[in-house]
Amino acid sequence: MAQVTFSLDDLHFCLSSIAPVELKGVGLLREQPHLITGAARLPRETLVEAVTELVAYTGRCAAAARQLANLTPIPLLTASVLEFGV
């Protein structure tokens, strides 16, 4: 197996190139920040959809975090991170 060398900048670039998740609730707040004060009126169906999506996404994130916390470490014997001199 070939040696893989990468830097923290490479890792940062890789992670930052992942497209953000577009949630309806976040989009609504971006478009209409006054929604937080309750001054704006949204159709109930839109609000229910946005909140349901946000709650479901939060649940998926929590489940993923639990799974990641329980992963067994795997040594990367053929990878080196330049900043750590390894």
Nearest C-alpha neighbor of 49 from the set 27, 31, 19:
27
Residue showing tokens 């639990």: 66
Counting the structural domains of the chain, the total is 1
Question: For residue 8, what are the domain limits?
Answer: 4-71+78-84
* Banded model confidence at residue 86, pLDDT cuts 50, 70, 90: low
pLDDT in tens, 7-18: 888 888 988 999
Question: CA–CA distance from 71 to each of 59, 64, 68 (Å)?
Answer: 19, 11, 5
Residue showing tokens 């609000």: 47
pLDDT in tens, 53-69: 999 999 999 999 999 99
